[in-house]
């Protein structure tokens, strides 16, 4: 399974959400794709080092978003079968 989230949300930002998910026994192995309009390299690196699998710029073509999501779903399925 894959979760798609935004970096900037009301109440909890995407980084906080990722931290909660990675700490949860139930959700720690989910794939996480994060969207943002931020183009700061350090922000992207920070998100990735805290557990985001793919960081996608909202200005990218939606086909790029879909390609990341589809690839991550396939990777997660393969890892489940191998386990």
Q: pLDDT in tens for each of the 83 residues of the chain?
A: 889 999 888 888 888 999 999 999 999 888 999 998 888 888 888 888 989 998 888 888 999 989 989 998 898 888 877 76
Q: What span, in angstroms and rounded, lies between the C-alpha atoms of 68 and 13?
A: 21
Could you tell me if 38 and 16 are in contact, meaning their C-beta atoms sit under 8 angstroms apart? no
Cα–Cα distances (Å) from 51 to 33, 59, 62, 63, in that order, read 10, 22, 22, 23
pTM for the model stands at 0.81
Q: Is 7 exposed, middle or buried (0-12, 13-18, 19+ CB in 10 A)?
A: buried
Contacts of 17 (CB under 8 A, 6+ apart): 5, 9
> What local confidence, expressed as pLDDT, does residue 75 receive?
87
């Amino acid at each position: 399974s894959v979760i798609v989230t935004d970096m900037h949300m009301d109440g909890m930002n995407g980084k906080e959400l990722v931290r909660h998910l990675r700490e949860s026994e139930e959700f720690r192995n989910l794939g996480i794709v994060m969207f943002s309009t931020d183009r700061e390299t350090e922000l992207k690196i920070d998100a990735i080092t805290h557990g985001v699998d793919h960081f996608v710029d909202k200005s990218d073509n939606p086909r790029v978003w879909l390609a990341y999501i589809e690839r991550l779903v396939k990777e997660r399925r393969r890892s489940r079968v191998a386990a």
